Amino acid sequence: MTEINVLNKKFQKEINSGVTSLVLLSVMAQAEEPLYGYQIAKQLSNDEQNAPAMKQGALYPVLRSLEKGSLLKSMVEPSASGPPRRYYSITSNGRKILTEWIKLWEKTKSFVDNTLGGE
């Protein structure tokens, strides 16, 4: 792995640490029923091109953290085909916070894009 790749991976990881919460909360706000981890991951990888190195394994800690903050809730259901599954759904508090986060995301985007403007 070249030096450039190492720095790119570090950069992408840092950016992802912020946007993963936003993206997961948004997926859950649009879900019509509770989803388990693999279903959520699939929603994000529908367009392989578009998902910048957001690996399924990276989603679980974020789901747990969103639940800890009462933005998501979950329940475990038995599965016919394997171990029990944890189904997540958004809380009303989660919907409120999502609206705030979208505003902060828009603000951050235009701040960064203004700074890059000279490039």
Instruction: Work out how close the CB of 37 gets to a copy of itself at its nearest, in angstroms, rounded to a whole number.
Output: 17
Instruction: Work out how close the CB of 106 gets to a copy of itself at its nearest, in angstroms, rounded to a whole number.
Output: 9
3-state helix, strand, coil in the chain (%, to 5): 65, 15, 20
What residues between 53 and 112 interact with a copy of itself by CB under 8 A? 54, 69, 71, 93, 96-98, 100-102, 104-105, 107-112
d(CA 24, CA 97): 12
Residue keyed to tokens 């603000």: 107
Instruction: Work out how close the CB of 9 gets to a copy of itself at its nearest, in angstroms, rounded to a whole number.
Output: 10
Q: Where are the beta strands (DSSP E) in 1-119?
A: 35-36, 72-79, 82-90
d(CA 102, CA 52): 19
Q: Which residues bind a copy of itself (CB under 8 A)?
A: 3-4, 7-8, 11-12, 14-19, 21-23, 26-27, 29-30, 44, 47, 50-52, 54, 69, 71, 93, 96-98, 100-102, 104-105, 107-112, 114-116, 118-119
